[in-house]
Structure 1
Amino acid sequence: MKDSSVKSIVLVAAFTALIIVGAIFSFPAPWNPVVPLTLATLFVVLTGMLLGPWRGLSAVGLYLFLGILGLPVFSGARGGFQIIAGPTGGFLLGYLPAVFLAGIIVRLGRGSLVSLITAAVVATLAIYLPGLPWMHYQLMGIVEDWSWASTWGKYTAPFLIGDALKAAAAVLIAEFLKDRIT
């Protein structure tokens, strides 16, 4: 096995572990009983920035696979397909395009600060894009009088500041580590 193959395997495993740690150590949002506060999204964005699209996709794919198998890797140390099928499943599936897009953007921008910032914004939006409609339709059948305004007010707007801070942290960490990891 080549040194580069070993390095890739180690990096994918390490970043999968970071995502797991970021997800497991979560706590309920005071304003929202369904979506917990985690650092998983920070590590997903960072994974794409530092590992690139394909190794990043491998790390996130491994994370999701382990969770679907039932290992306690999702928020609150939960696992199983029911988590993917539940209200937050769209956000978890959004990790796949998020990590890939972050990796592509940083690669095309040659790791410049502008590419890191762009990647963080695009990746965060890529998580929301499947997450919000998925959650909306999941909760529409459970919560009486559920509307898009409810989805925005309870499940989007309150998280924007935290997600912006996590995106900014990912940019700062990636800027510091980009030449040390790859």
Structure 2
Amino acid sequence: MLVLGAALFTALLSQLAVAVPGSPVPITGQTLAVMLTAAALGPLRGMLGQLTYVLLGAVGLPFYSRGASGFEQVLGPTGGFLVGFIPAAFLVGLAARRGLDRSAWKALPLFVAGQLAIFAVGVPWLAVVARFDFATALQKGFVPFIPGALVKATIAATLIPLCWRLWRPREE
């Protein structure tokens, strides 16, 4: 149920989408969902949640940005970002398991690194599929997303440590 919940949460936040002029990649809430669910569920469940998200969208559920779905989305220019959610969730979950998500100052670099993992898969994929040179792929698939990635990392770095503090059993 937790894995399916992570997939559904990512699908929900994927609907928060804004087109980026000149880029096939929209700004979405997906990466925030990846960071939050991975930190909350750990490496295996976090990764399985994102794998489930990608697979359910690929088989036709309207899970991707603006209700898109299908294998053509995964194989298309933005597919690398979707696939990048899987290793990013594993890495963020692994770091969270080691307690790097317990304070905002430790969590912020963790969530920035998680988003960089997504870009590390997505940008080269964009370059290959869209037949862009690497500089163009960076301009269309990375540079416009830096401010949003930092905002989403800050939101996650604020929420996750707060949740851990609220969840901690109180001593009586």
TM exceeding 0.5: yes
Matched, 1:149 2:139: no
Contact 2:100 2:107 in 1 (8 A): no
Matched residue, 1:91: 81
TM-score under structure 1 length normalisation = 0.84
Matched residue, 2:3: 12
Contact 2:19 2:27 in 1 (8 A): yes
Contact 1:99 1:123 in 2 (8 A): yes
Structure 1: gaps of 5 or more residues = 1-8, 141-145
Matched residue, 1:74: 64
- Post-superposition Cα deviations, 1:83-119, rounded to whole Å, max 9, x if no partner, equal 0000011111000010110011111136432442232
| Percent of paired sites with the same residue | 32
Contact 2:10 2:53 in 1 (8 A): yes
Which stretches of structure 1, 4 residues or more, deviate above 4 A after TM superposition?
179-182
RMSD of aligned Cα (Å): 1.8
Measured in 2, the distance between the counterparts of 1:87 and 1:67 equals 15
Which moved further from structure 2: 111-120 or 46-55? 111-120
Measured in 2, the distance between the counterparts of 1:62 and 1:45 equals 15
Aligned-pair CA distance for 1:27: 2.6
Matched residue, 2:95: 105
Aligned-pair CA distance for 1:179: 4.9
Matched residue, 1:23: 14
Aligned-pair CA distance for 1:126: 0.8
Which moved further from structure 2: 99-108 or 20-29? 20-29
- What are the within-5 Å matches in structure 2 for residues 28-177 of structure 1? 28-29=19-20, 31-109=21-99, 111-113=101-103, 114-140=105-131, 146-177=132-163
TM-score under structure 2 length normalisation = 0.89
In the alignment of these two chains, the number of paired residues is 167
